[in-house]
């Protein structure tokens, strides 16, 4: 591995307890330990996080933007999955 091949890592930061990790950006590093340290210096200089994850970008499997319509379409014609689909008589409470 030469410097030029340092893998790309995706950085996820949990900003505070109770929240999930959110994608913050990416960086290059030779290994996971360095990626973690660089992520701390790069993405949490102002206490933006209390926990950091780094994931090799190459390990992420993503859906294809080309088929975004057909891929997510099955959900589009199922409005009955939403509570607003149902009509409830006025005056019925706590429902």
Partner 1 sequence: MTTMAPDAGTQDDVAYEAQFNAAVTAEERIEPRDWMPDAYRASLVRQIAQHAHSEIIGMQPEANWITRAPSLRRKAILMAKVQDEAGHGLYLYSAAETLGTSRDELLDRLHSGRQKYSSIFNYPTLTWADVGAIGWLVDGAAITNQVPLCRCSYGPYARAMVRICKEESFHQRQGYELLLALSQGTEAQHAMAQDAVNRWWWPSLMMFGPPDDESAHSAQSMAWRIKRHSNDELRQRFVDICVPQADSLGLTLPDPDLTWDEERGHYAFGPIDWDEFREVLRGNGPCNEQRINQRRTAHEEGAWVREAATAYATKQAERSRHGYRAPHDPQQGDTQEEDIA
Query: Residue 50: CA atoms inside 13 Å, Cβ hemisphere, count?
Result: 6
Residues 6+ apart with CB under 8 A from 26: 8, 9, 10, 11, 57
Query: Which residue stretch of 21-29, 70-78, 87-95 sits at the interface with partner 1 (rule: CB under 8 A)?
Result: 21-29
Instruction: Tell whether residue 42 is a contact of partner 1 (CB under 8 A).
Output: yes
Question: Minimum distance from CB of 15 to partner 1 (Å)?
Answer: 13
The residues in 47-66 that bind partner 1, with binding defined as CB under 8 A, are: 50-51, 57, 60, 62, 64-66
Helix spans in the chain (H): 32-43, 68-72
Task: Indicate the residue among 60 and 92 with the shorter CB distance to partner 1.
Answer: 60
CA distance readout (Å), 70 to 56, 61, 65, 74, 77: 28, 18, 10, 8, 12
| Residue ranges binding partner 1 (CB under 8 A) | 1-4, 6, 8, 10, 17, 25-31, 33-34, 36, 41-42, 45-46, 50-51, 57, 60, 62, 64-66
């Amino acid at each position: 591995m030469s410097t030029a091949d340092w893998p790309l890592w995706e950085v996820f930061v949990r900003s505070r307890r109770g929240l999930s990790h959110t994608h913050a950006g990416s960086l290059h590093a030779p290994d996971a330990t360095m990626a973690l340290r660089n992520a701390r210096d790069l993405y949490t200089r102002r206490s933006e996080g209390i926990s950091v994850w780094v994931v090799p970008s190459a390990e992420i499997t993503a859906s294809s933007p080309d088929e975004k319509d057909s891929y997510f379409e099955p959900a589009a014609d199922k409005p009955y999955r939403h509570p607003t689909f149902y009509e409830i008589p006025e005056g019925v409470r706590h429902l």
